[in-house]
Amino acid sequence: MRGKIGLEEHFAVPETAVNPRGTYAEGTWSQLKGRLLELHGERLRLMDRHGIEMMVVSLNAPAVQAVPDPAAAAALARRANDALAELVAKRPDRFQALAALPMQSPDLAIAELERAVTQLGFKGALVNGFSQVNDPDNVVYYDVPQYRPFWAAVERLDVPFYLHPRSPLLRDARLYDGHPWLMGAAWAFGNETAVHALRLMGSGLFDAYPRLSIVLGHLGEGLPFGLWRIDNCNTGAEKTDGNRAKKKIADYFRANFYVTTSGNYSSLGLMHTMLQIGADRVMFSVDWPFEEIELAANWFDAVDMSEGDRLKIGRTNAAQLFKLDVS
Task: Give the residue numbers marked as catalytic.
Answer: 287
Residue among 266, 253, 268, 247 at smallest CA distance from 215 = 253
Runs of H (alpha helix) within the chain = 26-36, 42-49, 70-90, 106-118, 148-157, 188-202, 205-208, 227-232, 249-256, 267-277, 293-302, 307-311, 317-321
What distance in Å separates the CA atoms of residue 55 and residue 34, rounded to the nearest whole number?
17
The span from the CA of 149 to the CA of 187, in Å, is: 32
C-alpha span between 251 and 172 (Å, rounded) = 30
56 CB-near residues (< 8 Å, 6+ apart): 5, 6, 7, 9, 95, 96, 97, 98, 123, 318, 322, 324
CA-to-CA distance for 141 and 151, rounded, in angstroms? 13
User: ω into residue 149 within 30 of 0, thus cis?
Assistant: no
Q: What is the DSSP letter of 115?
A: H
